[in-house]
Amino acid sequence: MKCNLCPRKCNVDIMLNAGFCGKKGNKIKIAKIMRHKWEEPIISGEKGSGAIFYAYCSLKCCYCQNYQLSHLGLGKDFTENELADFIKKLDESKVENINFVTPTHYTDNIINALKLYTPSVPVVWNTSGYETEENIDKIKDFVDIFLFDFKYCSSEKSLKYSKANNYFEVCLKALKKARQIIPEDKIENGVMKKGIIVRHLVLPNNYLDSIKVFEAIKKEVGTDIYVSVMSQYVPFYKAKEDIDLCKKLKPIEYKKVKNALEKLGFNKGFVQDFSSSTCEYTPNFNLDKFWEV
């Protein structure tokens, strides 16, 4: 079973060896299932988003706030049938949606689980943005909402921070593909039922790259798209070893990105308060509290 789901195209037999992401075998490793109330307002709504946090990641950013999952592989192994049961229980608990967090490397498993149980609420694909067009196309009949990270414009920065010098071009193509599949956003009673949100975390000493990300989105996709600009950066994991990332985001840096966003004409979406740069928004991945719904 050779895996080529993400742009890294490891082509390794995951029954024998782990690829870059860390996944090995056909089990699904999950770290936490929770009623998540800290996503964007049109995702969390009043009832919260039914988030399933998967272990491992195809990107593995050095500053990842969920590094226990993405880098260290925290979690428990489950089958596709068990995942389908979790989705059913979340659905029955009356969450706003089923939110698959960093799911790319489990795409085939998730599709099989959704064939076993189709939820009555929208399905959210909460991705790092490091996706192939083929993978976006593969999930088009199973996903209602793309919560799409767009992290970098600079290939130098994406290589340094995420070991993916082709991140920008890959992410842009995947986003354009997602927009083709879901050309319009559908909001009902303040909650997204179908659509795309582009999420961007402003990094310290990288605000110029942030502005270039939104310039590219405007040029290639347009401004009629929901965006979420985040200030919640905290130097987690190996970020503490980097001369730029070990520092906190400065208010002036964040202000310049917000001002640029307004000048570019983006008027749909969300901008965090600068005070959000704390650990408050990072879930507790204590496996003793695996199910928090």
> In this predicted model, what pLDDT tens digit does every residue of 39-96 receive, in sequence order?
999 999 999 999 999 999 999 999 999 999 999 999 999 999 999 999 999 999 999 9
On whether residue 14 sits in a domain, the answer given is no
Structure token pair of residue 190: 């303040």
- How far, CA to CA in Å, does 78 sit from each of 15, 35, 86, 111? 15, 20, 10, 15
Q: What is the mean pLDDT of residues 190-202?
A: 98
pLDDT in tens, 7-40: 999 999 999 999 999 999 999 999 999 999 999 9
Residue 276, pLDDT > 80, answer: no
Closest CA to 288 of 86, 32, 88: 32
pLDDT, mean of residues 136-157: 98
Q: How confident is the model at residue 102 (pLDDT cuts 50, 70, 90)?
A: very high
Q: How many domains are contained in the chain?
A: 1
Q: Give residue 172's pLDDT.
A: 98
Report the SS3 class of residue 77. strand
pLDDT level of residue 1 (50, 70, 90 thresholds): confident
- Dump pLDDT digits (tens) for 232-250: 999 999 999 999 999 999 9
Question: Which pLDDT band, with edges at 50, 70 and 90, does 196 fall under?
Answer: very high
E strand residue ranges, 115-179:
123-127, 145-149
For residue 84, CA distances in Å to 80, 90, 126 come to: 6, 10, 18
Report if residue 17 sits inside a domain: no
Q: For residue 278, what pLDDT band results from cuts at 50, 70 and 90?
A: low
Asked if the structure places residue 6 within a domain, the reply is no
What pLDDT sits at residue 277? 55
Q: How confident is the model at residue 279 (pLDDT cuts 50, 70, 90)?
A: low
Q: The CATH number of the domain where 49 resides is what?
A: 3.20.20.70
On whether residue 146 sits in a domain, the answer given is: yes
Mean pLDDT computed over every residue of the chain: 95
Q: What is the mean pLDDT of residues 109-129?
A: 98
Angstrom distance (rounded) from CA 79 to CA 105: 15
Note whether residue 222 is domain-resident: yes
CA distance 210 to 224: 18
Residue 13 domain flag: no
Could you give the CA distance from residue 33 to residue 48 in angstroms, rounded to a whole number?
A: 12
pLDDT of residue 139: 98
Residue 3 domain-assigned (yes or no): no
Strand segments (E) across 76-174: 76-78, 98-101, 123-127, 145-149
| 108 pLDDT above the threshold of 80 | yes
Give 2 or 287, the one with higher predicted confidence. Answer: 2
- Establish if 195 belongs to a structural domain: yes
The pair of structure tokens assigned to 8 is 């890294």
pLDDT value of position 288:
80
| pLDDT score, position 280 | 63
DSSP 259-286: HHHHHHT--SEEE--GGG-SGGGS----
Q: What's the domain range around 134?
A: 22-292
